[in-house]
């Protein structure tokens, strides 16, 4: 029992701490699809919900054009000024994190993930005050969009 408390328990806590710290501020959802299919589904659900797709970046294609290899990795950039503008009115610095971005990538084990900035993280990062209703709306919408794209 002493070996567990002295060596194993601290080791487990250290490993868990590292995983938590690596994704600080990022909500990550497991996808049942390829990177391209997840990004396609995300674009479709965003468009259906009045979001404007600003860009889609294929980082793996960019790496290939430079003679490098990268597992499938894409970013979908999207937004809606009716939602983003009120956030910027509360804290203009949040503009550096807008429009919203969704990162879709395949890990070393072949699992695909979709990640996006947690609105609560943005609230803290930019000291946003007076926009709780907008942040709750954004949080709910991002959860809905990511769920639809990944299931």
Tokens of 133: 């209703």
123 Cβ contact list (under 8 Å, min separation 6): 131, 135
Residue 64 domain-assigned?
A: yes
Total structural domains within the chain: 1
Whole-structure pTM value: 0.83
Indicate which CATH number applies to the domain containing 105: 3.30.310.70
Query: CA nearest 80: which of 146, 144, 149, 137?
Result: 137
Tokens of 42: 């995300």
- Give the pLDDT score at 37: 98
Contact 31, 69 (CB under 8 A): no
- Give the pLDDT score at 24: 84
- Give the pLDDT score at 52: 97
- Residue 126's domain comprises 25-150
Helix/strand/coil for 58:
strand
115 Cα distance to chain centroid: 3
Residue 102 domain-assigned?
A: yes
| Residue pLDDT, tens place only, 36-86 | 999 999 999 999 999 999 999 999 999 999 999 999 999 999 999 999 999
Residue 136 domain-assigned?
A: yes
Residue 15 domain-assigned?
A: no
- Give the pLDDT score at 38: 98
């Amino acid at each position: 029992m002493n070996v567990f408390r002295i060596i194993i328990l601290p080791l487990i806590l250290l490993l868990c701490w590292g995983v938590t710290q690596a994704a600080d501020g990022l909500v990550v959802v497991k996808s049942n699809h390829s990177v391209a299919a997840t990004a396609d589904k995300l674009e479709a659900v965003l468009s259906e919900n009045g979001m404007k797709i600003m860009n889609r970046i294929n980082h793996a294609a960019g790496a290939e054009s430079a003679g490098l290899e990268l597992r499938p990795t894409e970013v979908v950039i999207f937004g809606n000024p009716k939602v983003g503008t009120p956030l910027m009115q509360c804290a203009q610095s949040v503009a550096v994190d807008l429009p919203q971005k969704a990162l879709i990538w395949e890990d070393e084990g072949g699992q695909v993930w979709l990640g996006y900035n947690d609105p609560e993280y943005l609230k803290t990062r930019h000291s946003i005050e007076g926009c709780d209703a907008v942040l709750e709306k954004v949080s709910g919408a991002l959860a809905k969009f990511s769920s639809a794209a990944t299931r």
